[in-house]
Amino acid sequence: MNNKPIFVTQPFLPPLEEFYEYIKDIWESKWLTNNGKYHQALESALCDYLGVKYISLFSNGTLALVTALQALRITGEVITTPYSFVATTHSLWWNNIKPVFVDVDRSTFNLDPEKIESAITPQTTAILPVHVYGNPCNVQKIKEIADIYGLKVIYDACHTFGIKIKGIPVLNFGDLSVMSFHATKIYNTFEGGAIVCHDEPTKKRIDNLKNFGFVDETTVVTPGINAKMNEVQAAMGLLQLKYINSAIEKRKQATERYRNGLNGIKGITYMEDMANVKHCYSFFPIFIDKDKYGKTRDEVYEELRKNNIFGRRYFYPLISQFPTYRGLESAQKGLMPVAEEITEKVICLPLYADLTLEDQLTVLGKLNHN
Ligand SMILES: *Cc1c(COP(=O)(O)O)cnc(C)c1O
């Protein structure tokens, strides 16, 4: 048995000496937060890197989601996916909005556009899809539906960084996109997040909302929250940008090694790259078919754990199965057959930029022994 644990992820950290230079400067300036110079520099650097017009930085992705819903004054019911991290739906709850769960599609495990229309009611005001595992949603189809019914679209883009469809940044679809820069994500600022928007008035509204609603020293226009990113986080973000391309390239290579290594193992399937998509390789989910593999997902998961390999069942249980949400009509068993099936099959294998070949072979070896 390998004696060093292999976790599902490990944060990417730039060289400490380089970060120290930023910290020294922040100490000397005594400017720690409130739209400081690193905050401004990171907003502009991210706009360039991601190919978006406006971005507003946040202290974390969850507060960015909560604020995005406030920014567009979303109310009533919002159509969303059960196959995500709980924060997606929690952001609705914090805004007193009723989540309406809709099943995912079989190829991407993203919200199935074919099933959205039948869930729309007079109370529906928006759609909140997630680009799960960093694979883009069917953004065209979702836009068509939103346009017909006059709905807003807010993408939870917390699994993505720099992904593109036919060369177009995915963040440019929808009214708003929300990002997370949490330590476990592909690009991190310790904790952090952002909202991407497409026009200046919206950018201003979001900036006000994350800073208590202040527009100037004496004017408060809205009951805003405090969700500002601080200077240390922003400095980390600037430094991380220097290394992000090589981090994504390393994840891509590890992904390809997993795919090659899993080929031919009966009962384990994985996801391929999508046509015309530039991926960011944020996760490596595998799906266990117990009849063909001879073991259930949970048996495999526990065996890996016993061998110090900590895969994660993203996403299990479904959000709709948690006590807070399971009473909703749309959460009832049998209504979302694809999500209900996938949640019982999935394990995300360890994937991060510094994952060693040796550790990867250990993981593959365990799956192959079974
Ligand atoms: C990580 C994540 C969030 C929350 O982001 P935080 O920065 O941790 O608050 C929301 N949605 C999804 C899909 C996520 O993966």
pLDDT tens-digit series, residues 169-194 = 999 999 999 999 999 999 999 999 99
Secondary structure (3-state) at 184: coil
Q: What phi and psi values does residue 136 have, to the nearest 5 degrees?
A: -65, 145
131 CB under 6 A from ligand 1? no
> What's the gap in Å between 133 CA and the centre of ligand 1?
12
Does the pLDDT at position 107 exceed 80?
yes
> What's the gap in Å between 158 CA and the centre of ligand 1?
5
- Counted domains in the chain: 2
Q: How confident is the model at residue 264 (pLDDT cuts 50, 70, 90)?
A: confident
Is residue 144 in some structural domain? yes
* CATH code: domain of residue 104: 3.40.640.10
> What's the gap in Å between 183 CA and the centre of ligand 1?
10
Same domain, 66 and 117: yes
87 CB under 6 A from ligand 1? yes
Residue 115 CA: distances (Å) to CA of 66, 127, 288: 25, 12, 26
Same domain, 55 and 180: yes
- DSSP lists the bridge partners of residue 270 as 286
Task: Calculate ∠ Cα 339-161-231, nearest 5°.
Answer: 125
155 CB under 6 A from ligand 1? no
Look at ligand 1, atom 7, and give the residue with the nearest C-alpha. Answer: 61
Rounded to whole angstroms, the Cα distance separating 101 from 319 reads 9
Q: How confident is the model at residue 2 (pLDDT cuts 50, 70, 90)?
A: low
Of the three residues 241, 270, 287, the one that is the final residue of a domain is 241
Mean pLDDT of 238-251: 98
> What's the gap in Å between 87 CA and the centre of ligand 1?
6
pTM over 0.75: yes
156 CB under 6 A from ligand 1? yes
> What's the gap in Å between 120 CA and the centre of ligand 1?
26
pLDDT score, position 244 = 98
Q: Of 165, 346, 201, whose CA–CA distance to 270 is shortest? A: 346
pLDDT score, position 1 = 59
Of the three residues 215, 241, 267, the one that is the final residue of a domain is 241
Is residue 8 in some structural domain? no
**Under a CB-based contact definition with an 8 Å cutoff, are residues 130 and 88 in contact?**
yes
Same domain, 97 and 196: yes
Residue 198 CA: distances (Å) to CA of 59, 202, 206: 21, 8, 12
pLDDT score, position 229 = 98
